Amino acid sequence: MKIPLLDLNPSLNELRHEIFEAVTRVINSTRYIMGPEIEGLEKEISEYCGSSDSIGVSSGTDALLLSLMVLNVGPGDFVVTSNFSFFATAGVVARLNATPIFVDINQETFNIDPNQLRIVLTEMDEVTRKRVRAIIPVHLYGQCAEMNEILKVSKEFDIPIVEDCAQAIGAECLIDGKKKNAGSLGDFGCFSFFPSKNLGGIGDGGIITVNDPEMANLLRLKRVHGGERKYYHRVIGGNFRLDPIQAAVLRVKLPYLNKWHKQRQENASHYNKLFAESGLGGKIITPILEHSQCLHNRHIYNQYVIRAERRDELKTFLAMNEIDSEVYYPIPFHLQECFLHLGGKIGDFPVSESVAKEVLALPIFPGITEEMRQTVVTKIANFYLI
Ligand SMILES: Cc1ncc(COP(=O)(O)O)c(C=O)c1O
């Protein structure tokens, strides 16, 4: 039995007719730039995420880039972020000629360690600290970062938060006793609609959520080259527009999102149970749900990531048995070739370095069968126990 890491067919088959209708509607409308589909999606995402405004953009990467542009991040500035994420999180900082400052992660949640974050900001010299323009926590794999503490640090040092929610639409956590959505916790929430996300388009796309109308206006302005009136440019922006075809498809999919989250959560519980019964304790670690600094998390399992002993051998063994798996991410930022000039070396960030050697994402998509999940766990057990 071949088991892919992700199969988009089950959700496509469910909605094929509606998706084709939505795409045809846009084509027939001849509104190919901006327009009602974008506005409709923005309204619906604001409702879903609990934000006052949403601004559809061209990708998750551009959501981060545009947010930093609105914060005037530029040469000589710094942005503090997790050392362990998809490249875009740090890449956007460097693209604005600012410098990323990396912080190690919590080994249980894989998210930025709030204690380390505080230490980094406290030990920094005053001149540098004054130039820290943003903190980017990443809600990695679909689980909120430890936002209670991160929000305290942000307040203490008066630094805005740009949440990287690319993998975490619909993730929730408890802040001061209240359930809050990823994207409504900090100053900007940056989402990706890359097809593999829980809410994925049929191409690239992204959105930014904010709760400040002034920021929303500025983001909208910079999304279209900073021109309020056509050909009159008050500020410099870019072409960060979301494609209406993507917006129309995403609007079809959004009402099904909670159902898909639930299926992923059920798949994760099933994996957890099978692994608990497998006698593999010590060889692998399954994802945790509750963490002392982040209670009542609603993990949306964009990825189900285990930590595994002899990870690379296990991955090869699974591939030989026609089971796909993936390493998100093999190299922490401080050891990426393009960031070596920042002086990072092996040993600087022990948690992300060891996690990068152990993480392995297993198939979790809605539509994966019980038999497939059982096969995945049986094969992993075979690898270690035989
Ligand atoms: C954590 C994280 N940040 C940013 C991005 C960038 O999103 P996009 O691929 O839509 O540009 C991704 C996409 O995979 C991501 O996983």
171-209 residue pLDDT tens: 999 998 899 999 999 999 999 999 999 999 999 999 999
Q: 57 alpha carbon to ligand 1 midpoint, in Å? A: 13
Q: Ligand 1 pocket by C-beta < 6 Å: which residues?
A: 59-61, 85-86, 88-89, 138, 164, 166-167, 192, 194, 204, 206
- Predicted local distance difference test score (pLDDT) of residue 294: 58
The pTM of this model reads 0.97
170 vs 386, residue with greater confidence: 170
Cis before 329 (ω within 30): yes
321-345 residue pLDDT tens: 999 999 999 999 999 999 999 999 9
DSSP annotation string for 10-58: HHHHHHHHHHHHHHHHHHHHT--SSSHHHHHHHHHHHHHHT-SEEEEES
Going from the C-alpha of 73 to that of each of 36, 95, 240, the distances in angstroms are: 31, 10, 17
**What burial letters (b/e) apply to 241-250, b meaning 16+ CB within 10 Å?**
bbbbbbbbbb
- Predicted local distance difference test score (pLDDT) of residue 281: 84
Mean pLDDT of the chain, nearest integer? 96
| pLDDT for 230 beyond 90 | no
Q: 223 alpha carbon to ligand 1 midpoint, in Å? A: 18
- Six-digit token pair at 343? 């002086």
* Contact by Cβ (8 Å): 101, 343: no
Which of 64, 79, 84, 86 gets mutated to test ligand 1 (max ligand atoms within 8 A of its CB)?
A: 86
- Predicted local distance difference test score (pLDDT) of residue 370: 97
254-309 residue pLDDT tens: 999 999 999 999 999 999 999 999 999 889 999 987 655 555 678 999 999 999 99
- Predicted local distance difference test score (pLDDT) of residue 292: 54
42-82 residue pLDDT tens: 999 999 999 999 999 999 999 999 999 999 999 999 999 99
Residue 98's pLDDT band (cuts 50, 70, 90): very high
- Predicted local distance difference test score (pLDDT) of residue 291: 59
- Predicted local distance difference test score (pLDDT) of residue 229: 87
| pLDDT for 156 beyond 60 | yes
Which segments within 137-218 are labelled E, that is strand? 162-164, 172-175, 178-181, 188-192, 206-210
Q: 142 alpha carbon to ligand 1 midpoint, in Å? A: 12
Residue nearest to atom 13 of ligand 1 (CA): 166
- Predicted local distance difference test score (pLDDT) of residue 288: 86
Vertex 130 angle, CA 128 and 133, to 5°:
95
Which of 6, 57, 61, 112 gets mutated to test ligand 1 (max ligand atoms within 8 A of its CB)?
A: 61
Q: What percent of the chain has pLDDT over 90?
A: 92
Q: What is the C-alpha separation between 279 and 236, in angstroms, rounded?
A: 58
Give CB contacts under 8 A, 24+ apart, made by 149-152: 149/114, 149/115, 149/117, 149/118, 149/293, 150/112, 150/114, 150/117, 151/175, 151/185, 151/186
Which of 105, 194, 250 gets mutated to test ligand 1 (max ligand atoms within 8 A of its CB)?
A: 194
- Predicted local distance difference test score (pLDDT) of residue 314: 98
